[in-house]
Structure 1
Amino acid sequence: MKYGIIGAGAMGYRFGVMMQENAGINVDFIDTWEPNVEKVRQQGGVTVSRDHEDRHIVPINIYYPEEYNGHPDVWIIFKKQMQLADELQRDYDAGIFHDDQYVFSAMNGMGHFEKIAQYFHKDHIICGTAMIATRLDAPADVDFMGAVDSEVMHMARYNNEAPDETTQQVFDDFKSARLGPVYANDWKGMCMSKVVFNAVCNTLCTMFEMQMGQFIEYPGVPEMARQLFNESFDTCERAGIRLIESRQEEIDSVTTISKAYKYHYPSMYQDFSKGRPTEVDYINGYIAKIGRENDYICRTHEFLIHEVHMAEMMRKYHHQQENAIQYS
């Protein structure tokens, strides 16, 4: 099958390049970030490394939506939650969506599948999560974090039915690409399991501007994680969402994954450090929203949301201080 990647960022590059290089699959990339597109065209591809080593250029096909006339069987979408609605509308206006196409997404946070369902039939939507750490260090410059074959991802159909022929082919292609796919029975429980993990590691690492290996050095992390996970699980239980991992498995995964990706800065910090809005409202905020809808207040999550937004606000003052020092 032919695939199109919407969003040539850290994870879009990770999936597309691994599908090309490991499985020989035909992939096109669609992106709207001009510095990224033009850098790919200038250097003849995307610069790829793994854990800061073996930097090399991988040739890829990249297009703006308005100039694309291909017809992939499956779209793979990796955009920031805040950008998704505008991206989907632009792609739709460009005429690149077709009724026969399937779509897969493993974006961080929650709320994206409802947006995607406005453009694709629910039977053609494949939900995913990816426990795969990747950094976009500059336009067309991506770093795959973690050892080879450490990739793990989950997928489930949006209608929660058994895999159909196309979904099975997507699974097989991901397996050939060595992306580590695993089937799940319920998309919402699958996705929320990743959200509650990110609500601990991504948010706390961002607050203290640290790598995951530095984060797990602090002996109080398991207890901090337990407090946040307990709120998350209590919320999901009230909402009738059954996560695919237990409370203790989630707590244990913080240690395991933080050690495995010790040099990784989570995606929320990558956005924060570059002056972009974070996805905290789609991660901790989504958990808190579900809680309030079910008469439960996630006090710690709500506190962290305010802390992240306060830190975002303070960037303008830090910038002013840096300018003052520079010209003093």
Structure 2
Amino acid sequence: MKYGIIGAGAMGVRYGVMLQENAGVDVDFVETWEPNINKIREQGGVSVARDHQNRRVVPINIYRPEEYQGHPDVWIVFKKQMQLADELDRDESARIFHDDQYVFSAMNGMGHFEKIAKYFPKDHIICGTAMIATRMDGPADVDFMGAEGDEVMHMARYTNERPDATTQAVFDDFTKAKLGPVFADDWKGMCMSKVVFNAVTNTLCTMFEMQMGQFIEYPGVREMSRQLFDEAYDACERAGIYLIPTRQEQVDSVITVSKEYKYHYPSMYQDFSKGRPTEVDYINGYIAKIGREHDYICRTHEFVVHEVHMAEMMRKYHQPQENVADTNAEKVRV
């Protein structure tokens, strides 16, 4: 199988590099962020470390959409929710999409599969989620967080049908790449399970500019998590969406995952700290939207959305804590 990665950011690089190096498959990257393209070409690849250690330059093939002449079997899409529609329009205009291709995405938030379905048949879309922490500290500068073998992700077809031959082949390549794939039966329940988790860790860590390990030092974390999870589960159940973990399992996972990635700033904070818009409208805001559509008001999630946007506004008065690679030995993950 040949893969094309749309978006050479933190997660796009992680999937592409692990597929190249561990599964031994051909991978091309299609990128529109000019500083990233230029840096990768200048240094002969992307600079990759794991937990701030063993940094090296990994050669990759990178193209602007208008330059790309390849024909991958599967596209892997990792863009920010706010950028996706424009990205897909540019890619379509460059004629890089073809009727026989499949597409996989494990982006944060919700709303992206509806956009992707405008360009690909529904039975060619593979939905995913990834409990895989990755940082991008600058153009062509990526840090894989967590020990190798800790990666866990889920995947399901957009039609909720059983895996066909191509989906199974993607699963097999992800397994060889050591990305830890697990099949799920229902894509909405699978994806909302990750959205609901991110609605706690990503959002609260961003508002208070905390690493995940600092977040769980607060003794009220379980209570805060349970309040947000209960609203989210109530909204989803009214919409006929049933999540993979139980409510209690979600609460417990906040602690266990935050311990595993205790020095990690969630992706929402990585955007926040660099002055970019956050994806809170596609995470807490999406949960609130589902609630409103089914006569249930997620008051805490709606309030949290306002709080994050207020924090974004406050960046004009003071700069967020700089999100750079940790330099103190005691901060390196062990």
- TM range, smaller chain: over 0.9
Amino acid at match of 1:38: N
Return the offset for 1:8: 0.4
Q: Which residue of the partner structure matches residue 258 of structure 1?
A: 258
Answering whether residue 124 of structure 2 is matched by residue 124 of structure 1, we say yes
Deviation track 1:205-251 (CA, whole Å, cap 9, x = no partner) reads 00000110111111110110000000000001100001011101100
> Hey, what's the Cα distance between the residues in 2 that align with 1:32 and 1:249?
39
For the residue of structure 1 that corresponds to 2:231, the secondary structure is: helix
Return the offset for 1:317: 2.3
> Hey, what's the Cα distance between the residues in 1 that align with 2:304 and 2:243?
22
For the residue of structure 1 that corresponds to 2:62, the secondary structure is: strand
> Hey, what's the Cα distance between the residues in 1 that align with 2:186 and 2:310?
35
> Hey, what's the Cα distance between the residues in 2 that align with 1:318 and 1:150?
36
Q: Which residue of the partner structure matches residue 51 of structure 1?
A: 51
Answering whether residue 181 of structure 2 is matched by residue 215 of structure 1, we say no
Q: Which residue of the partner structure matches residue 69 of structure 1?
A: 69
Q: Which residue of the partner structure matches residue 298 of structure 1?
A: 298
Return the offset for 1:204: 0.2
> Hey, what's the Cα distance between the residues in 2 that align with 1:67 and 1:237?
46
Identical counterparts, % of pairs: 82
Q: Which residue of the partner structure matches residue 35 of structure 1?
A: 35
**Pairs aligned (count):** 319
1:1-328 equivalences under 5 Å are 1-318=1-318
Instruction: Structure 1 unaligned segments of length 5 or more: list them.
Output: 320-328
Instruction: Structure 2 unaligned segments of length 5 or more: list them.
Output: 320-334
Question: Which consecutive segments of 4 or more residues in structure 1 shift more than 4 A?
Answer: none
Q: CA RMSD in A?
A: 0.5
For the residue of structure 2 that corresponds to 1:174, the secondary structure is: helix
> Hey, what's the Cα distance between the residues in 2 that align with 1:181 and 1:192?
17
For the residue of structure 2 that corresponds to 1:217, the secondary structure is: coil
For the residue of structure 2 that corresponds to 1:163, the secondary structure is: coil
Give the alignment's TM-score, normalised by structure 2.
0.95
> Hey, what's the Cα distance between the residues in 1 that align with 2:213 and 2:311?
22
Could you say which structure has the higher helix fraction?
1
Return the offset for 1:64: 0.3
> Hey, what's the Cα distance between the residues in 2 that align with 1:216 and 1:58?
35
Deviation track 1:132-165 (CA, whole Å, cap 9, x = no partner) reads 0000011000000011100000000000000000
Deviation track 1:94-153 (CA, whole Å, cap 9, x = no partner) reads 000000000000000000000000000000000000000000011000000011100000
> Hey, what's the Cα distance between the residues in 2 that align with 1:144 and 1:218?
26
Deviation track 1:285-323 (CA, whole Å, cap 9, x = no partner) reads 00000000001000110000000001111111226xxxx
Amino acid at match of 2:123: D
> Hey, what's the Cα distance between the residues in 2 that align with 1:318 and 1:141?
26
